[in-house]
Amino acid sequence: MARLVSDRAEKTDSVVVLPSSLENSQKAPPGTYRIILISTCGSIFAFFTALVIAYYWRSRTPPFWDPIPLPSALWISTVLILVSSVTFEVARRVFRKGQYRIASRFLVVTGCLGAAFLASQLTAWRALVSSGAFLAQNPHSSFFYLFTGLHALHLIGGIVALLVVMFRHAPRRELVEVVAYYWHFLGVLWIVLFSVLRLIS
């Protein structure tokens, strides 16, 4: 009877060497992180899609809809998250080649850029408050704070995951790649949200 083994198993003439994650019950088996990534990104995508649809529908209902000027700091936020996505991708590829020290440096740069993005978002919120645009002022301002606030929370989750990768002893390559893909997803999500806020007002 044929014996089923992992496609990642290393076969020799007489033995089959299984990955340590399959031998150690405390380690996640191959593919677990990717399943979590797909589930998480799918849920986030569906949630923000519903919000964008609600935003578009409400923008077509004139009463009490008073568009607010978007702070210029959002452009800085956009540049920061795009650059952070580039540095994370470089870190992912370098880590894949086994150059862990160089990869860790790019991960530190990515984390700093992520923190700068959050600071830029905070600057945008303060600018709106100074101009008199509050959360409950009108539906447009409410959606703005909702979009940017929820995205910032998900980015904080990405920074936490990045810190786990940075401070974990000998992280698996799959974990590094999954966190990188999640970061890229947040970057694309921000571009979409920023475009929606600019085009639909």
All structural domains of the chain, each given as residue ranges with its CATH number in brackets, are 31-62+70-199 (1.20.120.80)
Q: What pLDDT does 58 receive?
A: 86
Q: What pLDDT does 3 receive?
A: 46
Taking alpha carbons only, the member of 143, 155, 150, 144 closest to residue 185 is 155
Task: Give the span between the Cα atoms of 67 and 74, in whole angstroms.
Answer: 16
Q: What pLDDT does 54 receive?
A: 92
Q: What pLDDT does 41 receive?
A: 94
**Overall size of the chain counted in residues:** 201
Q: What pLDDT does 201 receive?
A: 67
Residue stretches of the chain with pLDDT short of 50 = 1-9, 20-25
Task: Give the span between the Cα atoms of 51 and 25, in whole angstroms.
Answer: 40
Q: What pLDDT does 10 receive?
A: 52
Tell me which DSSP letter residue 173 carries. Answer: H
> Cβ neighbours of residue 175 under 8 Å, at least 6 residues apart?
33, 164, 165, 168
Lookup result for tokens 């600018």: 127
Q: What pLDDT does 78 receive?
A: 97
Burial of 49 per CB tally in 10 Å (0-12, 13-18, 19+): exposed
Q: What pLDDT does 22 receive?
A: 47
